[in-house]
């Protein structure tokens, strides 16, 4: 099968892991890199044997438009809409990192521009592809705990995330866009769509601009109530970064995803346990192992979509609903009220 050729737009912290994830799959070939600081792009290009490096997106797209099958946008969120529209206008398929866009209107434009040019558009939302999350979904779908009616989804940590991503300190909107994009998408993956939400936020760390704590109460269309807790200000007995801990209660039992990927299924017959460890790769950072491992599975699903597969999960159109939850949460927190979707 012919390899799909792609360009990477943005060669910062996440790009090396994204490229390593692509290499695990095969079937793709990077041919050009862009970064506003060209030295960064050159360093990555030397590592991956890519000869064409640019500090001008338009020059890259104009020169390679005829041979690119897709672009992988790994820049900061402020450029996502612009770069997506530039690629779409040239008929190039788009993969974009989360969060899709800084505003809901920008996200709408991104989806619309890709639809108007018949360009495939995907968001690299990898948390739902984590091994323990996939296993939890499998358990829920099996019906062993019956119809779920309540859930708690928790991502609370004191991990020094600002050390390797210092730009996060300057975001006016932080944890809901950064982590909320992930965990609210997990909620949609596990429990389908949301009927209403209520959110409250706080800023505990005085050195950052945005909120670092958020609590969201979701009422799903199924009737399930889901409490979502997010924090980067939590000093806890056990640091669990970057794991999402989840408990789901159903009419026939409960299932919990605890520390170190431990799953416990409890019914009136007793409790069964199993561990859903992520696959380990030589290139991943141990501190981000769970996340980096899921990159491969997310990329695999997107690659199938690029080749015409029909079961791609994180399309731009689907992820727009997650973006809508993020911005509705900000609105709820600002107005201190429940919002119907």
Average pLDDT, the chain: 97
Decide yes or no: CATH 3.40.50.970 for domain 4-124. no
Q: Are 138 and 131 in contact (CB under 8 A)?
A: no
Check residue 30 and give its pLDDT.
98
Note the pLDDT tens digit of each residue in 153-182.
999 999 999 998 898 999 999 999 999 999
- pTM for this predicted structure: 0.96
Spatial distance between the Cα atoms of 73 and 34, rounded to a whole number of angstroms: 10
* CB-CB neighbours of 206 under 10 Å: 5
Q: Where are the domains of the chain?
A: 4-124, 128-285+314-340
Q: Residue 133's pLDDT band (boundaries 50, 70, 90)?
A: very high
Residues 6+ apart with CB under 8 A from 174: 168, 208, 209, 210, 211, 212, 232
First-to-last CA distance in the chain?
44
Q: Is the pLDDT of residue 1 over 80?
A: no
Decide yes or no: CATH 3.30.360.10 for domain 128-285+314-340. yes
Note the pLDDT tens digit of each residue in 238-275.
999 999 999 999 999 999 999 999 999 999 999 999 99
Paired tokens of 128: 């739902």
To the nearest 5 percent, what fractions of the chain are helix, strand and coil?
40, 25, 35
Check residue 44 and give its pLDDT.
95
Ranges of beta strands (E only) in the chain are 4-9, 28-34, 52-54, 70-73, 93-97, 121-124, 148-156, 194-202, 213-220, 225-231, 245-250, 253-258, 262-267, 270-275, 339-340
Check residue 165 and give its pLDDT.
87
């Amino acid at each position: 099968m012919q390899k799909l050729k792609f360009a990477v737009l943005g060669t910062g912290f996440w790009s090396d892991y994204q490229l390593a994830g692509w290499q695990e799959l095969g079937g793709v070939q990077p041919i050009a890199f862009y970064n506003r600081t060209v030295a960064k792009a050159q360093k990555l290009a030397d590592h991956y044997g890519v000869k064409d490096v640019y500090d001008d997106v338009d020059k890259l797209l104009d020169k390679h438009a005829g041979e690119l099958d897709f672009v992988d946008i790994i820049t900061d969120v402020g450029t996502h809409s612009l770069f997506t529209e530039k690629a779409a206008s040239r008929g190039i398929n788009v993969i974009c990192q989360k969060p899709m866009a800084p505003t809901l209107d920008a996200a709408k434009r991104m989806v619309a521009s890709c639809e108007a040019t018949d360009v495939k558009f995907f968001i690299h939302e990898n948390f739902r592809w984590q091994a323990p999350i996939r296993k939890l979904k499998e358990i829920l779908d099996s019906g062993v705990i019956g119809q779920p009616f309540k859930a708690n989804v928790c991502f609370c940590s004191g991990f020094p995330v600002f050390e390797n991503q210092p730009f996060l300190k300057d975001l006016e909107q932080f944890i809901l866009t950064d982590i909320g994009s992930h965990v609210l998408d997990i909620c949609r993956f596990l429990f389908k769509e949301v009927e209403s939400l209520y959110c409250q936020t706080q800023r505990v760390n005085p050195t950052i601009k945005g909120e670092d704590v958020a609590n969201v109460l979701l009422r799903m269309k199924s009737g399930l109530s889901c409490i979502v807790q997010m924090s980067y200000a939590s000093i806890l007995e056990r640091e669990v970064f970057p794991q999402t801990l989840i408990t789901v209660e159903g009419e026939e039992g409960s299932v919990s995803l605890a520390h170190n990927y431990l799953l416990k299924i409890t019914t009136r017959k007793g409790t069964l346990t199993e561990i859903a460890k992520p696959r380990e790769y030589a290139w991943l950072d141990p501190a981000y192992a769970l996340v980096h491992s899921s990159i491969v599975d997310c990329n695999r699903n997107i690659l199938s979509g690029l080749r015409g597969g029909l079961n791609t999960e994180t399309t731009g159109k689907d992820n727009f609903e997650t973006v809508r939850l993020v911005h509705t949460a900000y609105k709820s927190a600002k107005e201190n009220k429940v919002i119907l979707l």
